[in-house]
Amino acid sequence: MQRVGWLFAGLLSAVMVSSLSVTPAAAQFPNKPVTLIIGFAPGGPSDVMARILTKKMEEILKQPVVVENRAGAGGGIAATAVSKAAPDGYTILLATGSSLAINVSLYKNLGYDPEKDFEPISLVGTQTNLLYVHPGSVPAKTLKEFVDHVKANPGKLTFGSGGIGTPAHLAGELLKVEAGIEMTHAPFRGTGQALQSVIGGHVPVAFNPPSPLLPHLQSGLLRGIAVTTLARTPALPDTPTIAESGYPGFDAATWHAMVAPPGLPKDVAATLSRAIRETLNDAATKKALTDLGVDVVNSTPEHLRDYIKSEIPKWAKVVKASGAKVE
């Protein structure tokens, strides 16, 4: 019996040593690539932003961070996928105000709850939208001239955006209400498609974040009319706001945030939160984002949770005023 006891004790000791040597490595996060899903097509503002962020995140996490594009439904397809993903930190979402605040009022059957089905990590930044035109199709150079031109051609102009329910789409719908003008919305699968359509003269007007538009504005292929935030953007300091051009209080910004599936372990959430915080505090990353026209916002998970809660009713009013709906 004594010999058996010694054998059992030795076996138990070996198991404990083995457990101590294996468990920390197995529990360490991350120990494989992380997938960052975005809800828009390659080449658009969200895609460019994601690739700026992942470059620094990879250095911090010491693992590859792979960008995966799942475009459609104003970011809703990507959001639905992440809301149902395993809560292990290896699938995260670079969300926008569309997927976390607007879609709940716009879509009849959304498929997820923005407040309950995500673990907030951090706000990333806010971004204006630019009302821009094809110069050969729309002669206007100011917002007043644009409104007058649309009124002189009621129902004849089409405006593009990166998708139904995006802040860019609702910016157009809100301007229609505020200015009393008639335009038809043409949703595209991402900013890149909308941009190319305006450059080609197929769609005369669009609303989009300015980052991918800058070289085309400088070359004269496109003409910027006004931005949709209350303040001018550093990316286009000479371009007036819609608010200062006759429509006080007009505000339709795009915002970006990092979230994960619900039920994320606290230690994993803390690691991701630290990685985002350090990424956004990195001087090179901050400059790259600022050059895109992004005002960097570094927040706590708690602040993001409260922000989402406050944004839902705000955008609900805009959706209601615009009459926009998606079945």
Residue located via tokens 């959001």? 79
In the chain, ranges of CATH 3.40.190.10 domains: 130-245
Task: Label residue 148 exposed, middle or buried (CB < 10 Å: 0-12, 13-18, 19+).
Answer: middle
Closest-CA residue to 92 (of 294, 267, 272, 281): 272
**What is the architecture, at CATH level 2, of domain 33-127+254-322?**
3-Layer(aba) Sandwich (3.40)
What does the pLDDT read at residue 252? 87
Average pLDDT value for residue range 64-73: 94
Amino acid, res. 139: P
**Structure tokens, 242:** 């819609």
Distance CA 127, CA 135 (A): 24
Distance CA 150, CA 146 (A): 6
Closest-CA residue to 254 (of 192, 161, 317): 161
Percent of the chain at pLDDT > 70 equals: 91
Distance CA 159, CA 132 (A): 9
| pLDDT one-digit tens code per residue, 149-207 | 999 998 899 999 988 878 899 999 999 989 999 999 999 888 889 999 999 999 999 99
Is residue 322 pLDDT above 80, yes or no? no
What does the pLDDT read at residue 137? 97
What does the pLDDT read at residue 25? 38
| pLDDT one-digit tens code per residue, 239-279 | 999 999 999 999 888 899 999 999 999 999 999 999 999 99
Q: What Å distances lie between residue 176 and 21, 149, 173, 183, 198, CA to CA?
A: 64, 13, 5, 7, 19
Residue located via tokens 């009013």? 317
Residue that wins the pLDDT comparison between 326 and 218: 218
Range ranked top by mean pLDDT from 179-183, 234-238, 318-322: 179-183
Average pLDDT in the chain: 89
What does the pLDDT read at residue 1? 46
In the chain, ranges of CATH 3.40.190.150 domains: 33-127+254-322
Distance CA 302, CA 304 (A): 5
Residue that wins the pLDDT comparison between 90 and 1: 90
Average pLDDT value for residue range 205-231: 94
Q: 32 pLDDT band (50/70/90 cuts)?
A: very high
Is residue 7 pLDDT above 60, yes or no? no
Q: What Å distances lie between residue 314 and 116, 213, 322, CA to CA?
A: 18, 28, 13
Residue that wins the pLDDT comparison between 323 and 171: 171
What does the pLDDT read at residue 27? 59
Contact yes or no for 252/170 (Cβ under 8 A): yes
Instruction: Report the predicted TM-score, pTM, of the whole model to 2 decimal places.
Output: 0.77
Percent of the chain at pLDDT > 90 equals: 68
Distance CA 171, CA 149 (A): 18
Distance CA 81, CA 86 (A): 10
| pLDDT one-digit tens code per residue, 111-131 | 999 999 999 999 999 889 999
As assigned by CATH, the class of the 130-245 domain is: alpha beta
Distance CA 195, CA 120 (A): 31
Residue located via tokens 């959304």? 110
